[in-house]
Structures are given as structure tokens and as C-alpha cells.
Amino acid sequence: MQDLLIIGSTAFDTIITPTQRRDYIIGGSASHAAYGAAFFTKTRLCGIVGSDWTPEHTKLFTDRGIAVDDLEIRPDGKTFFWMGEYSQDMNIRTTLETQVNVLGEFSPNLTPASRRSPYLFLANGSPVTQMQAIDQCTELKFVVADTMNFYIASQRAELLELLKKIDGLVLNDEESEMLTGKKDIFAAAEQLCGMGPRFVIIKKGAHGSLYFSPTALFTLPAYPTRKLAEPTGAGDCFAGAMMGYIAGQDATDLQTIKTAIAYGTVAASFTVEDFSFDALKRCTREDIDARFREFQEMLRF
């Protein structure tokens, strides 16, 4: 079991679905990723929050053994805030409000222990900040990054530089098209592999994920949970849990990555069953493993 450092956004979200509304719940790419990863390995969370963040919020992470030495608390500002609303069929998400707040000043200065992490997951965030984390880590074995439409549009040059420094890239199907101009998911993945990473994982939401490298191609469906509450953070949890499993195994061969993707799929299937990571909060590693075995069995023929 090896340390996994996760860096990205820590946020408060207000989320509206056709049937429910929740105000000021914990969100953010690094939060969801770390919560998912902590089922599998020693996880370090690097992010920035403001004066509205309380010890109770921190305790949610430390209760799961997540190291928060690199969670910077800025008393002079407020935590990044995002407010979004889902459409009737939950397929379309509209951003109603974004307050960047202290995230705009995020410039991590990692603790010595975090700098020694061999595994690094760069959750959704600015490629500038993502590169700062890479530059500070001295013993990296395996680095995977996530990104999103906002940074593809606004920091493309920095993102293209980052791609040269990572082992794997995780992004969704719309983002893969945005970054490459290619609608065909395989062609997009192939082009992305030519831009730096050894492999690309394209997240397709309810339709599962696709792994692509110059030598391997496979796809897994999403676990078919019937209890969809709302999907915010599912993609972050997917990638975080995947990286947690990889760091926990301290192995990066193809079969380990595939098992890791399956565990990520299972962890994400809990995320969508409630708001924030409330469903995962009720889970033990045994619950994850039980659903993992069910997922294995589902795909055995």
C-alpha cells in the first residue's frame, strides 16, 4: 500500500434536481476523489478552503483516514462555491452560479510527506496548479490527471504541456471531443495518446467507460444502480477510487488498471445514489467489495 496524493478543488455545492434541493453540501473534484480513494489506500488531500469550512467538514475526511495536512484553510476568504441544476431526465446540468473565492489563489506548497507520494491524482482543476504539484513531487511513479471543458477552453496551452508529464488522462466524452475535435471516441482517444499520456480513460457517465492505449482497448459498463439521486462527483469518485486501488496494490500493469477501473465504477455507483458523498459515507470496504463481486458476476458469461 502506497501513498496517493490527490490535488484539486474542494468546494461547497448547492444542487437542484427535479425533486430535491440541497444547499451548501461538500463537493469538489478532490473531495470526491479522496473520499473514493480512501477505501483502498493511504490518501492525502491537497486543496484550499475558506472561513466557511468547519472542523466538522475536515472530520469527514479524517474519519476515513485521509491526511489533510495539505488542506489549506484561508480565514480571509470563502470556499469555492458551485450551484447547479439538473434537467428532468438528469442528463443535462446547468450551472446557475460559480464563486471562485479562495480557489483563485490556490498555489500548493506541499508538505514533505506529500512530496514523497509515489502516486498522484490531479483531480479536475487548473493545469497550472496540476503542474505545480508534479513539479513538487520527487518520487513519482504514476500520475493521472482529469480535466474539464473550462480548462480545455481557457488554459489549453498549459493543459497540452501537462499532457506530456502524465501517465494517464481521464476525461469525459464531450471533453475528449473538445480537446481533439474528433467526435469518434476511439479516434479522439488515439489522438490524445499521441499528445503525451500512455493511456486515456473516457468517462461516459451512465454508459460506463472506455480505456484506450496504443496496445489495449476495453470498455466497462456502468454498474446499473436503480437509485439515481444525482450524479455530481461520480466521475471524480470513479477516478479517485481507481487511483486508490492502484496505489493500494502498488502496481500499474493492465490487469490491475482494469480491476481499478471496475472498483472506480462501483464506488461511483454509490456516489450517484445520494447527494455529495452521503451514500459512500454509509459504506464500508465490505459494501464496496460485495458490489464489486456482483459486478464481476454480472459480466461473466
Q: Which residues of this protein are in contact with its own copies, per CB under 8 A? A: 88-89, 183-184, 186, 204, 207-208, 210, 217-222, 224, 226, 228, 255, 258-259, 261-262, 296, 298-301
Between 29 and 172, CB nearer to its own copies: 172
Cα–Cα distance between 120 and 123 in angstroms, integer?
9
DSSP state at residue 228: -
First-residue to last-residue Cα distance in the chain: 32
Shortest separation between residue 184's beta carbon and its own copies, angstroms: 8
Between 164 and 226, CB nearer to its own copies: 226
**Do the strands 142-146 and 119-122 form a parallel or antiparallel pair, or are they unpaired?**
parallel
Between 252 and 259, CB nearer to its own copies: 259
Measured from the Cβ of residue 180, the count of other Cβ atoms closer than 10 Å reads: 18
Between 105 and 184, CB nearer to its own copies: 184
Shortest separation between residue 217's beta carbon and its own copies, angstroms: 6
Shortest separation between residue 267's beta carbon and its own copies, angstroms: 14
C-alpha closest to that of 236 among 163, 151, 171, 165 = 171
Cα–Cα distance between 206 and 188 in angstroms, integer?
20
Between 1 and 217, CB nearer to its own copies: 217
Shortest separation between residue 94's beta carbon and its own copies, angstroms: 18
Shortest separation between residue 153's beta carbon and its own copies, angstroms: 21
C-alpha closest to that of 142 among 228, 252, 40, 278 = 252
